[in-house]
Amino acid sequence: MSIKKHVKVGLSALALSVSLSSVAAEDPIKVGILHSLSGTMAISETALKDTMLMLIEKQNEEGGVLGRQLEPVVVDPASNWPLFAEKARELLEKEEVDVIFGNWTSVSRKSVLPVVEELNGLLFYPVQYEGEESSENVFYTGAAPNQQAIPAVDYLMNNIGVERWVLAGTDYVYPRTTNKILETYLKDKGVAASDIMINYTPFGHSDWQSIVSDIKAFGSAGKKTAVVSTINGDANVPFYRELGNQGISATDIPVVAFSVGEQELSGIDTGPLVGHLAAWNYFMSVDNDANYDFIDAWIDYKGDDTVVTNDPMEAHYIGFNMYIEAVKKAGTTDVDEVKDAIIGVSVPNLTGGYATMMPNHHITKPVLIGEIQDNGQFSVVWETPSTVAGDAWSDFLPGSRDMISDWRAPLRCGNFNVATGECGGASE
């Protein structure tokens, strides 16, 4: 029958309203989902896969977009970094997906990056990360360091009066970079080097005895002390256990974590942790109807009312809606047009505000500080007065101080150097 007409209508300005009633007339928009479903990262990434499926399902119920249905394509990179690149290539070359939502770890993103750029794909990356990157083909819906670490430190400094700092992290690039940034930042704020203690541990580190006792000693110097933790996933449980057992309570030495969210807490006996902090751009406990609706939808989708939501899930929620908006705006799923269209698009987030896509492919986010409750939730104790725009290049690293990223014409450069006025790197 009159497919043409549908197409015309579909392309007309009335696209949405009509296509709601009309059967999708074109072949579906393929959405690639690149999250580990097996291996060590399955713990965190499986939930994100389901989130995407839920969002896509919901969107399809509303008639998809441009009168086209969305079709998820799920693959499993099995927590194996080279496999991430291979699967990304599979998605873009074989499946010819229009957009990819995926990745958690920095290394997996780094592994996928060249592929996405080579094949000119779209990747939405939902996890807080170390920054220092801006790709024309990647949209960073997670927090950059200036949207998580720095505000958290400000809070501790100004509201808690912390003078002495322990920067503890797992030894990989995110903690390394974050701590470098914080170190510079703190020193700029006049903190003496002797008041900063930096410590790195391997992945899944389970014996925290001596480190915690060092922290304890470090904290007994007569100045208010806090731990800024970029400790990754599994290592946290034994870490907090040890804190509790060595009698360090949040009122003595608060720990503010950047990688501990509701999902991580769901595996911890939070009783001893009450009062320790985390900095995120979203908490499940945020008292807001949009959020409650999202949570209820999630609970219904999983059919289990103990499931939790967390920050990266919100990031996907935002990223997905932004993509949909951009596609509507561009009237097509053509990668280049969507790339241009999405800049400036803003959609509601789950904390009662709006998220806008910046020219550097990072988004604006509020920063919330929450204290752990005994029910595995966070209660928000502080938040930034307004949303903060993500910084691709940190102002606190010598290498990237004078670099900016702007993917709008005419600049179209991910690493523009304002000092040299050239696209391509730092002046040092």
Partner 1 sequence: MTSSNMWLLRPLQERSTQIFLGLLTAAVVVVTILHLATPEGSALHVSAYTVTLLGKYLCYALLAVAVDLVWGYLGILSLGHGAFFALGGYAMGMYLMRQIGDRGVYGDPILPDFMVFLNWQELPWYWHGFDMAWFAFAMVLLVPGALAFVFGFLAFRSRVTGVYLSIITQALTFALMLAFFRNEMGFGGNNGLTDFKDILGFDLRSDGTRLGLFIATGIALAVGYVVCRGIVTSKLGRVSVACRDAEARTRFLGYRVERVQLFVFVVSAMLAGVAGALYVPQVGIINPSEFSPLFSIEIVVWVALGGRATLYGAVIGAVLVNYAKTVFTGVMPDAWLFALGALFVLVTVFLPKGIAGLLQKRRKATDDDGANAQEVAA
Partner 2 sequence: MSIYRLLARIVLAACLALGPMLATAQVQDDTARDLLKQLVEANQAEKLGLLKEISETGDERARGWLEAFRGGKLAVVEDTGNVVIVLNNRGRDWEIADALSGDNLGEMSRRDLETVRVNNAMRAQVDGILSVIDLTVTDPQGRLDAARNLLGDVDATLAEQLEARLAEEENADVRAMLANAIAIHRLEQGDAEAIDVLSGSLNPTARAALNTAANGDDPALAAAASKALASIEQKLKINHAAETLYFGLSLGSVLVLAAIGLAITFGVMGVINMAHGELIMLGAYTTWGMQQMLPGQPGLALVLSIPAGFLVAALAGIAIERSVIQFLKGRPLETLLATFGISLILQQLVRTVISPLNRTVVTPEWMSGSIMINEALSLTLNRLYVIGFALVVFAGLMLIMRRTRLGLEVRAVTQNRAMARSMGIKATRVDILTFGLGSGVAGLAGVALSQITNVGPNLGQNYIIDSFMVVVFGGVGNLWGTLVAGLSLGTINQILEPWAGAVLAKIMVLVLIILFIQKRPKGLFPQKGRAAEN
Binding site for partner 1 (CB under 8 A): 37-38, 74-78, 80-83, 85-87, 89-90, 93-94, 105-107, 110-111, 113-115, 118, 132-133, 171-173, 176-177, 180, 200, 202-203, 397-400, 403, 414-415, 417, 424-426, 428
Give the residues across from 368 on adjacent strands.
280, 383
Give the angle 199-200-205 at the CA atoms, nearest 5°.
120
**Count of Cβ atoms closer than 10 Å to residue 91 Cβ:** 28
Of all helices (H) and strands (E), which one includes residue 60? helix 42-61
Count of positions on this chain that bind partner 2 (CB under 8 A): 63
Q: Can residue 292 be called a binding residue for partner 2 (CB under 8 A)?
A: yes
Q: Can you say how many angstroms the Cα of residue 268 is from the centroid of all Cα atoms in its chain?
A: 22
Please give the residues from 298 up to 337 whose contact with partner 2 meets the rule CB under 8 A. 299, 305-306
Cβ nearer to partner 2, comparing 27 with 304:
304
* Residue 111's binding partner out of partner 1, partner 2, none, with CB under 5 to 8 Å set by partner kind: partner 1
Strand, helix or coil at 296? helix
Q: How far is the CB of 134 from partner 1 (least distance, A)?
A: 8
Q: Can residue 274 be called a binding residue for partner 2 (CB under 8 A)?
A: yes
Cβ nearer to partner 2, comparing 295 with 350:
295
Q: How far is the CB of 85 from partner 2 (least distance, A)?
A: 23
Residue of 199, 332, 346, 384 interacting with partner 2 (CB under 8 A)? 199
Q: Can you say how many angstroms the Cα of residue 353 is from the centroid of all Cα atoms in its chain?
A: 17
Q: Kindly provide the b/e burial profile for residues 235-269, where b requires at least 16 CB atoms within 10 angstroms of the residue's own CB.
A: bbbbbbbbbbeeebebeebbbbbbbbbbbbbeebe
**Count of Cβ atoms closer than 10 Å to residue 20 Cβ:** 12
8 A C-beta contact, residue 78 and residue 267? no
- Binding residues for partner 2, per CB under 8 A? 38, 40, 42-43, 46, 160, 171, 199-202, 204-207, 209-211, 213-214, 216, 219-223, 234, 237-238, 241-242, 244-247, 250-251, 254, 263, 266-269, 271-272, 274-275, 287, 289, 292, 295-296, 299, 305-306, 371, 373-377, 379, 381
